[in-house]
Amino acid sequence: MTTAAGPTGKSLTYADAGVDIDAAEQIVDLIKSSMRRTHGPRVFGAHGGFAGMFRLDYNEKLFRRNYRDPVLVACADGVGTKIRLAIKMGVYNTVGIDCVAMNINDLIVQGAEPLFFLDYLGLHRNDPTHTAEIVEGVARGCEIAGCALLGGETAEMPDIYAEGDFDLAGFGVGVVPLRRAIDPMRVETGDVVIGLASSGVHSNGFTLVNRIIDECDLDLGSTYDELDGGILGEVLLEPTRIYARSIVTLLRRYKVKRIVSGMAHITGGGLASNLARVLPPDVDALLDAGTWTVPGVFELLRRRGDIDHREMRRVFNMGVGYVLIVRPTFADSVANQLRALGENAFAIGRIVKGSGRVRLE
């Protein structure tokens, strides 16, 4: 039997084709400690196995955690074109936090406690150092969110991704007891809308951000008047804020009363579009745009890109990253509790009779 030879006269290998198995095995060792930091007693199974395992109910006294009528909540999302900016900046350890945030912030809207997370990294070439930095960011995001990084996949695909390119997506799973699941049909007139401040642009609208940077020749290494001394590239790469611990802690304090009638994660589409997703058809959310401060980076993007104010509100979070709709009697208490938990919380409006729309005054 003869062996096929490549153009150099020697047998072709997977590495010759662009996939380095040795580098992939090195990655498994490099990320082991990052993953294990996120594991609690409900995670078991060997590192590097074919799948991760997580116990839903756990009866040992010290870590007892059981659920009545548990409902699993799942979501999948990616970081999007913010990755292009990270590649330009040579910063690989923050987009993993974004990946976790985009999933877990969606998951907690249902009232769920995050359980575990898996990531998918597709790239041109498996550079062990850069890949480990990306996964370290994912692990850090899981620590902030209070969930386990249970596993993932790193795919080296030189035929798909250009030199230096990569993509990052994730999948999160949480649980909520059926009677505690958030039902937006409970939103009613008189409820108060509470906003939680964003950490900046988060992970939406970066296709427009990148266009503004390119066409307006903005320098990622420079500061601008609107940034209060911040470096543009660093401000834009600030990771998406993860609200999970604050929201889960708040909801656990109300075991009987259901004081939160609705929540929304403010992502692509902006405040109006995302908040409207959790409104019944017979009410409106009436918001006062003067109740929160819009971060300067948005004004910089608007002015330099000559973007209409309405378009800015449609694309970006404009300083509000998460919203709760709360019964009016509890609104002040909820806002104060969230501040004590580290959030910048502020009342931004109220629920009135209407047709399922968000109105900004």
Largest CA distance in the chain: 82
Q: Indicate whether 6 belongs to any domain.
A: no
Whether 116 and 211 share a structural domain: no
Q: What is the 3-state secondary structure (H, E, C) of 253-308?
A: CCCCCCCEEEEEECCCCHHHHHHHCCCCCCEEEEECHHHCCCCHHHHHHHHHHCCC
Are 149 and 245 within one domain?
Answer: no
CB 85 within 8 A of CB 201: no
Residue 71 lies in a domain: yes
CA distances 154 to 31, 121, 128, Å, are 11, 5, 11
The span from the CA of 133 to the CA of 92, in Å, is: 6
Those residues with Cβ within 8 angstroms of residue 256's Cβ, 6 or more apart along the chain or in another chain: none
Give CA separation, 77 vs 86, 146, 220, 262, 290, in Å: 18, 18, 26, 21, 31
Q: What is the pLDDT along the chain (361 residues), one digit of tens a residue?
A: 455 555 556 776 666 666 666 666 666 666 677 778 888 888 887 666 778 888 888 776 656 677 889 999 999 999 999 999 999 999 999 999 999 999 999 999 999 999 999 999 999 998 888 999 999 999 999 999 999 999 899 999 999 999 999 999 999 999 999 999 999 899 999 999 999 999 999 999 999 999 999 999 999 999 999 999 999 999 999 999 999 999 999 999 998 899 999 999 999 999 999 999 999 999 999 999 999 999 999 999 999 999 999 999 999 999 999 999 999 999 999 999 999 999 999 999 999 999 999 999 8
Q: In the numeric block, which tokens belong to residue 209?
A: 């951000």
What is residue 11's predicted lDDT score, i.e. its pLDDT?
Answer: 76
Q: Are residues 169 and 200 in the same domain?
A: no
Tell me how far apart the alpha carbons of residues 105 and 7 are, in angstroms, rounded to a whole number. 51
Last residue of a domain, one of 130, 162, 180: 180
Is residue 43 within 8 Å of 52, Cβ to Cβ? yes
Amino acid 39: pLDDT: 84
Q: Could you tell me if 271 and 347 lie in one domain?
A: yes
CATH number at residue 329: 3.90.650.10
pLDDT of residue 42: 81
> Same domain, yes or no, for 199 and 173?
no
Instruction: Based on the fold, state whether residues 155 and 249 are members of the same structural domain.
Output: no
**Separation between Cα atoms, residue 71 and residue 66, nearest integer Å:** 12
Residue 4 inside a domain? The answer is no
Looking at the structure, do residues 84 and 195 belong to the same domain, yes or no?
Answer: no
pLDDT of residue 1: 47
Domain containing residue 124: 17-56+65-180
Quick one: which H or E segment has residue 352? strand 345-353
- Say if CB 152 and CB 190 are below 8 A apart: no
- pTM confidence score: 0.91
Given this model, what pLDDT does residue 144 score? 97
Closest Cα partner for 248 from 266, 237, 263? 263
How far apart, in Å, are the Cα atoms of 64 and each of 34, 38, 228, 254?
Answer: 25, 18, 47, 19
Give the H/E segment covering residue 211. Answer: helix 206-215
**CATH code of the domain covering residue 82:** 3.30.1330.10
CB 266: neighbour CB atoms within 10 A? 25
Q: Which residues contact 51 (CB under 8 A, 6 or more apart)?
A: 45, 151
Do 261 and 296 fall within a single domain? yes
CB-based contacts of 223: which residues, under 8 Å, 6+ apart? 229, 230, 231, 232
| Euclidean distance between CA atoms 100 and 141, whole angstroms | 6
Question: Which of 163, 180, 197 finishes a domain?
Answer: 180
Q: Are residues 341 and 212 in the same domain?
A: yes
Matching residue, tokens 């359980």: 115
Residue 112 has what DSSP assignment? P
Whether residues 338 and 354 fall in one domain? yes
Residue with tokens 């409207």, as numbered in its chain: 276
Number of compact structural domains in the chain: 2
Distances from the Cα of 179 to the Cα of 70, 188, 216, 262, 288, angstroms: 9, 19, 52, 14, 32
CB contact at 8 A, 134 and 86: no
Question: Where does 69-136 show beta strands of DSSP type E?
Answer: 70-78, 113-123
Same-domain pairing of 237 and 319 = yes
**Identity of the amino acid at 227:** L
Residue 9's pLDDT is what?
A: 63
